[in-house]
Amino acid sequence: MPTDQLEDLITQAEAARLRNVSREAIYGLVARGKLGVVEIGGQKFVRRSEVEGYQPEVGGRPKTQAARNRPGVGRPPNPKPKAAKPASRSSRKKAEAKP
């Protein structure tokens, strides 16, 4: 491997510090094939240029869409509170039995 390519290699821990993420996050990117890995003498390295150029995928629904689908969003509040349930027959009997 040419010297200039060796200079581009950094450890996964260095990559984590460079991206301000955990080492586990870098390990996960390597495991999912998002970052290439070079193994030298049993130690794994990643290319600094790949780490610096990595753009995480944006996933999930847009926040505006999620807000529209939540119950109650965009609707006026219920003006009438629900009436209290009348006491059951057994609870009335218990209340009447007490002196």
**Cβ count within 10 A of residue 46:** 24
Better-scored residue on pLDDT, 28 or 1: 28
pLDDT tops 80 at residue 22: yes
Stated length of the chain: 99
Q: Under DSSP, is residue 9 helix (H, G, I), strand (E, B) or coil?
A: strand
End-to-end CA distance of the chain: 94
Residue pair 51/15 in contact by the 8 Å Cβ criterion: yes
pLDDT tops 70 at residue 81: no
**Average pLDDT value for residue range 72-77:** 62
Sorted by where each starts, the structural domains of the chain and their CATH numbers stand as 3-53 (1.10.10)
Give the model confidence (pLDDT) of 28-42 as tens digits. 999 999 999 999 999
In the sheet that 38-40 helps form, which strands lie side by side, from edge to edge? 9-11, 43-47, 38-40
